Structures are given as C-alpha cells and as structure tokens.
Amino acid sequence: MHELSRSSGLRVDLLDTDAVRAAVRDAAPEAVYHLAARAHVGESWREPEAYLHDNAAMTLHLLEAVRAEAPDCHVVVVGSSELYGPPASLPVDEAAPLRPQNPYAVSKASADLLAGFFGDAHGLRIVRARAFNHAGPGQEPIYAIASFARQIAAGIEAGEDPVRIVTGNPDARRDYTDVRDVVRAYRELAERAEPGVYNVCSGRPASAAELLAALARATGVGVDHVVDPALRRANEVMEVRGSYERLRAATGWEPVIPLERTLADTVTWWREQIRAGRASERVHE
C-alpha cells in the first residue's frame, strides 16, 4: 500500500514527494501513524527491487514532509519483527541486532533506520514500533491466520466436516497479537511513549499446527491438514517470540484479547464475507 489518507478523505501516493508534503501541510497533524508499505515476504522474493525502493522511499518522503511541515507532531513508524531475523535468544527484545533474512525484512530495516536517523539528526518525536505478527477480522488472506480462517469458513459454509486446510511449514512458531490490541498499542505509543524503539507483541507464539487445532476447537469442526511444500519460505526462522516489557513500562499496555477470540472472530468475519458474496451473486443473476 502506497497511500496516505488525508483528513479530507483523499488518498495520496507516498511515492509522490510533492503530494506527500502538501498532504502533511494541509492536515497539520498532531500525530502521524506510518504503516504504508509493501508487506508480503513471499512477494518480496519475486520483486526485491520494488520492495527495497518503495518501502524506503515512502518512509523518507513522509519524514521529510513532517520535518518541513509538522516538526512538532508525534510520529509512529511501524516496522516489523522480520528485521530481527534469526533470534540469538528468546524472547527478542529491542536490543537484539538486526539480521534481516528476506527482501521485505531488509526494506523494513532500512525504513526503521531512516526513522531513527530523522529522530537523531532532526529532533523529530519518532517512535519506532516493531510489530510482530498480528491478525484479526478484515486481514487479507496472504497472511497465515487470515488464510486458515478463510479456508475453514468456506468449508463450514459448504457443509464440510472435516475441512481441508492447506498450510506451509506446520512447525514454525510466530508471536501473534490481535490487531485490535496492536492498534491500541500504536495509540498509546503516540500519546505516552518517549521517542525510541518498542516491540509490539504478545510473547505467546503458536505454530500453524497449533493454530489449526485451536480453530477446530473454536468452530467445532474437524480439520484435514495438508502441508504444501511450495508454501514453505526460504530461510525461514523456526520460532519468533518477542518481549513487550519496554512498551508496558512506557505506557502500561498489555495484550488483552486471547488468541482463541482472534481466531473465532476471524472465522465469523470470513463467513459473513462469503455469505455477502453469494447474496451479491444472486442479485446480479
């Protein structure tokens, strides 16, 4: 996603330097949340140049605009736990070295370092939020939980039991946080945290196999788990688990939505989307 939403409801391409500066000038923001990025690891292997260029350029253009037009506002630059790469120890805290292992991760490390530079060199109030995996209703199915939930929702709607679900590596474990908790963390960081680096995570990792077992419990249907070797990532890190102690100390934030609710709510959302799609098809017949 390359866009900046303006208060007027217009969208601005963050690769357009002049448009970004005009948007920040017009909005006169008190806080800026920078989440726009190309954001899919698998695609980044196929389009490394686009990822490296666009994610750094979008961040640079936004920060230059803030420096020129709104230097007193609070900026939350959202990064990714992918920039840490294979952890030397668990849980991963903010002092861990950056060892990105794919083009997306390299691009996010570049954006993170740019944000740190602008804070140091220009005195901007920048928080660098390093978000670990998050999930919830509305997420695109290019991400693990959204994909699994959509597959199980489609199976339930089709009357299947068990439901066939295809995954990549069943054993790689990731630190998942409900997106509603993540959004709350970003707000807390903008309003209460001093400039610096903060992990946003739950500290509770789960594998694909564990997620499918939890989905089966949440929905009451059986799961026929199929592992597709083509979905395995190159250079995949087998376990990622973060520490959010710095975030908690700065803001009092804690994740409050359990994984089971995230899974159930996501399946419910996908079932509603499937039903709405069918209703739309009937209308147009």
Rounded Cα–Cα distance for residues 130 and 140 (Å) = 20
Q: What is the pLDDT along the chain (285 residues), one digit of tens a residue?
A: 565 554 446 789 999 999 999 999 999 999 999 999 999 888 999 999 999 999 999 999 999 999 999 999 999 999 999 999 999 999 999 999 999 999 999 999 999 999 999 999 999 999 999 999 999 999 999 899 999 999 999 999 999 999 999 999 999 999 999 999 999 999 999 999 999 999 999 999 999 999 999 999 999 999 999 999 988 877 677 899 999 999 999 999 999 999 999 999 999 999 999 999 887 666 556
Which one, of 153, 131, 130, lies nearest residue 263 by Cα? 153
* Prediction pTM value: 0.91
Please, are residues 50 and 107 in contact by the beta-carbon 8 Å criterion?
no
| 3 phi, psi to nearest 5 deg | -110, 150
CA-to-CA separations, 194 to 83, 129, 137, 267, in angstroms, rounded: 22, 12, 31, 37
Q: Which residue type, as a one-letter code, is found at position 51?
A: Y
> First vs last Cα of the chain: how many Å apart?
33
CB atoms within 10 A of CB 280: 9
Measured at the alpha carbon of residue 75, what is the angle toward residues 90 and 83, in degrees to the nearest 5? 30
Tens-place pLDDT, residues 172-229: 999 999 999 999 999 999 999 999 999 999 999 999 999 999 999 999 999 999 999 9
Nearest Cα to Cα of residue 274 among 160, 151, 166: 151
CA 259/CA 2 separation, integer angstroms:
30
For the four alpha carbons of 145, 146, 151 and 153, in that order, the dihedral sign comes to positive
Question: Is 226 in contact with 165 (CB distance < 8 Å)?
Answer: yes
In the chain, the domains with their CATH numbers are: 3-131 (3.40.50.720), 144-171+205-237+258-283 (3.90.25.10)
What is the per-residue DSSP string for the chain?
--EEE-TTS-EEETT-HHHHHHHHHHH--SEEEE--S---HHHHHH-HHHHHHHHHHHHHHHHHHHHHH-TTSEEEEEEEGGGG-S-SSSSB-TTSPP---SHHHHHHHHHHHHHHHHHHHH--EEEEEEE-EEE-TT--TTSHHHHHHHHHHHHHHTT-SSEEEEES-SS-EEEEEEHHHHHHHHHHHHHHPPSEEEEE--S-EEEHHHHHHHHHHHHT--EEEEE-GGGPPTT--SB--B--HHHHHHH-----S-HHHHHHHHHHHHHHHHHHHHHHHHHT-
Q: Which two tokens stand for residue 198?
A: 């903060």
Tokens (6 digits) for 235: 């250079």
Print burial letters for 10-48: b (CB count within 10 Å at least 16), e (below 16). Answer: eebebeeeebbbebbeebebebbbbebbbbebeebeeee
- C-beta of residue 183 within 8 angstroms of C-beta of residue 147: no
